[in-house]
Every structure is written in C-alpha cells, then in structure tokens.
Amino acid sequence: MKPTSVLVVSATVLLIGTVTLAVKAQPIGNVRGRAPIVFVCKNGVSMSVWSAAYFNRLAAARGLRERAIARAAIPSYTTVPLRMVFALAVDGFRLDGYRPQVVSREDVRDAELVVVIQSSDDTELPSDAQAEVRDSDVWQGFPPMREQYFASRAALRERIDSLVERLASKDR
C-alpha cells in the first residue's frame, strides 16, 4: 500500500473513531442557570471546560447535588478550538452548543465556590465579578491544556478528585 493511501485510511479511521466517541459522549451544553461550582480559566475553552465536565461526571456518579459551569476570565474566544473539541471527545465529552462566556456577577453571586485555574498566566476574575465572590480558590501551576492536554488533564484530575471527595464527605 502506498504511503499516501495509508495516511488517508489512517485519517479516515481517526475521524470515524472521534465521531463515534463524540456521539456516545456526555454533552457539555451552555448552562444558563446558577451552579454551585464555577470553574474559570483565562479563555474558557479548555481547563475550565474540562474541569466542569469532569466534575459533573464525578458528582453525578457520587450522587452529589453540586454541578459546575465553565467560564472565561476574558472574552478571547467565541468557540472552542477544534483540537480541544477532539481532545474532549476522547475523554467522553461532547460540546452541545457550548460557547465560552466571560464569568459574570450573576455566575459567582450564588456560587458556593469559584475556582480560578491558572496555567502560566495570572488569570483573575473581572473586577465586577470579584466583588460578588463568597468563597474562591486559585489553582496554580498547570501546564496550558491547549498545548499539553494530557499533563494538564492529569493535574486537574487530582484537584477535582480531591474537591469531589471533600464535598462528598460534607454530605455524609
């Protein structure tokens, strides 16, 4: 088989596999209502999206009432980049109309916890939202997820596992 044929076949298999995963994946839609947990990253297209989706999966599996939403600190993207869509699909998440939104006062006003996720940047909440926060946590030192997906995912997974465990122990 010619090298170009192998490439075409490989690309086709990869595309079919990704589409199959996406069809069976858990949806990540736009959440318009209040959520007790708000994850915020700089752009709202990677770390906060993965964190909210993974948190919601764990919380549902543990029977917790808490759910999370993903938000951006700045208005830099209107859609999630394609490579993040594929990466999320590999983890069993699909974007169902999710669009990045800048965190608002309303998002944080009723939140039990706002988690600001920083990679190599100094992500901060917009000043109008900062005034409304009751409880927040800053998670620092994560590799940028859009460039180092697996390393960032592993580090975020540890923090989210710990958060879910802490919330589950409070409910007992």
Q: What per-residue confidence (pLDDT) applies to 166?
A: 94
Which superfamily does 3-171 belong to?
Response regulator (3.40.50.2300)
Note the pLDDT of residue 34. Answer: 56
**Across the strands, what pairs with 29?**
96, 97
**How many of the other CB atoms lie within 10 Å of CB of 148?**
14
Q: Please state the domain extents for the chain.
A: 3-171
| pLDDT 10s digits, 108-148 | 988 999 999 998 777 888 888 888 888 999 999 889 888 89
User: Could you give the dihedral angle defined by the CA atoms of residues 121, 127, 132 and 137, in that order, rounded to the nearest 10 degrees?
Assistant: 20
Task: For residues 157 and 51, give the distance between their C-alpha atoms in angstroms, rounded to a whole number.
Answer: 8
What's the mean per-residue pLDDT of the chain?
84
Q: What is the mean pLDDT of residues 32-52?
A: 87
Whether 24 has a pLDDT exceeding 50, the answer reads: no
Task: Read off the pLDDT band of 8 (50, 70, 90).
Answer: low
Residue 7 makes CB contacts below 8 A (sequence gap 6+) with none
Q: Are the beta carbons of 67 and 172 closer than 8 angstroms? A: no
Residue 92 has pLDDT above 90, yes or no: yes
Indicate whether 50 pLDDT > 60. yes
Token pair for 118: 């920083």
Question: Does the structure show a pLDDT above 80 at 18?
Answer: no
How does residue 21 score in pLDDT terms, banded at 50, 70 and 90?
very low
pLDDT tops 50 at residue 89:
yes
Start-to-end CA distance of the chain, whole Å, equals 61
pLDDT recorded at residue 120:
73
